[in-house]
């Protein structure tokens, strides 16, 4: 995903009001500066912020939280200025924001990102296997009846299925255009709905459409038991979760800080993120306990 290309980051910049959701230990000294963990203004970002902040606190680092700060246009300058020190980002989206072009190659996109942000004093640490990008989803019943596991499998049913998604989908390279050109798919029709939102979900559940565009880490996928089809021909650009930190902060603590963050990132999968998003958005569970429970389940902190 690049969120600009995939609609989530489109639109006008929100007001530049920084909403501080919670604070950890303040103060600090020259040898142990407080690590301020930030997030943008949607649930997944707060969950990821809590995961990294809690892991750091458990390891003895002084941490402050500044969550729900606004869009990337707000948070990226805060990171560059040192107002925050650590942020969970998305490789393709941040590379696009920095003026680059992401590809479907995860490693290449990450390497390009590292180069693009180095001049701002920022470091992209190891990326996670988890990705939040465009995904094509069917119900479990449809997947079972038609033998669907990958996007390529849809070709066996050309001319019989209805695709639903954002109104812009027919003109987008990562939506209908790409499905036709990269996968050779032909749909019986396209239904314009919303951007991975409730209209799309309701249409899929109600059998008004057969295939829906949702975001791969959306909690509704776990909640509804939908089947996320594998993008086996790699239509979508890489959008791996990646912690981005100030070089100054990393230098202050040495290699152990980066190694800890890398271990946390390596354990996050797209399925984990979808389940955490489900519990946060649909069950209204607090992100702090959610993050701690997940870290314990992965053996990253003690219970």
- Alpha-carbon distance of 139 to 210, in angstroms, equals 8
Per-residue confidence in pLDDT tens, the chain, 303 aa: 333 334 433 332 233 333 333 334 344 455 689 999 999 988 999 999 999 999 999 999 999 999 999 988 999 999 999 999 999 999 999 999 999 999 999 999 999 999 999 999 999 999 999 999 999 999 999 999 999 999 999 999 999 999 999 999 999 999 999 999 999 999 999 999 998 899 999 999 999 999 999 999 999 999 999 999 999 999 999 999 999 999 999 999 999 999 999 999 999 999 999 999 999 988 999 999 999 999 999 999 998
Sequence ranges of the domains in the chain: 35-131+238-297, 134-228
35-131+238-297 matches 134-228 in fold: yes
Ordered alpha helix ranges (H), the chain: 43-58, 72-81, 91-97, 106-118, 140-146, 176-183, 198-205, 219-224, 247-253, 255-267, 270-281, 287-297
CATH class of 35-131+238-297: alpha beta
Neighbours of 64 (CB within 10 A): 20
- Alpha-carbon distance of 216 to 130, in angstroms, equals 9
Nearest to 253 by CA among 31, 18, 29: 31
- Rg over CA atoms, the chain: 20
The CATH superfamily label for domain 134-228 reads Osmoprotection protein (prox); domain 2 (3.40.190.120)
- Alpha-carbon distance of 276 to 170, in angstroms, equals 31
């Amino acid at each position: 995903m690049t969120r600009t290309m995939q609609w989530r980051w489109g639109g006008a910049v929100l007001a530049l009001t920084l909403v501080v959701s919670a604070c950890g230990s303040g103060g600090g000294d020259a040898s142990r500066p407080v690590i301020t963990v930030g997030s943008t203004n949607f649930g997944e970002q707060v969950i990821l912020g809590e995961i990294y902040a809690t892991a750091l606190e458990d390891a003895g680092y002084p941490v402050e939280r500044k969550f729900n700060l606004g869009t990337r246009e707000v948070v990226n300058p805060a990171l560059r200025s040192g107002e925050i020190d650590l942020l969970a980002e998305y490789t393709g989206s941040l590379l696009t924001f920095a003026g680059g072009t992401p590809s479907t190659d995860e490693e290449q996109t990450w390497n390009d990102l590292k180069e693009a942000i180095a001049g701002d004093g920022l470091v992209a640490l190891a990326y996670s296997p988890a990705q939040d990008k465009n995904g094509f989803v069917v119900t479990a019943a449809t997947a079972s009846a038609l033998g669907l596991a990958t996007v390529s499998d849809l070709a066996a049913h050309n001319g019989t299925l209805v695709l639903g998604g954002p109104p812009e989908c027919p003109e987008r390279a990562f939506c209908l255009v790409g499905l036709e050109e990269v996968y050779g798919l032909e749909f019986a029709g396209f239904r314009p709905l919303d951007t991975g939102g409730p209209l799309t979900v309701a249409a899929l559940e109600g059998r008004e459409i057969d295939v829906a565009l949702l975001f791969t880490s959306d909690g509704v996928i776990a909640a509804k038991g939908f089947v996320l089809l594998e993008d086996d021909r790699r239509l979508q650009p890489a959008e791996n979760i990646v912690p981005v930190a100030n070089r100054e902060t990393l230098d202050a603590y040495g290699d152990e800080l980066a190694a800890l963050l890398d271990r946390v990132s390596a354990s996050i999968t797209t399925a984990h993120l979808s389940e955490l998003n489900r519990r946060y958005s649909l069950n209204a569970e607090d992100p702090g306990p959610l993050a701690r429970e997940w870290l314990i389940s992965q053996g990253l902190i003690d219970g």
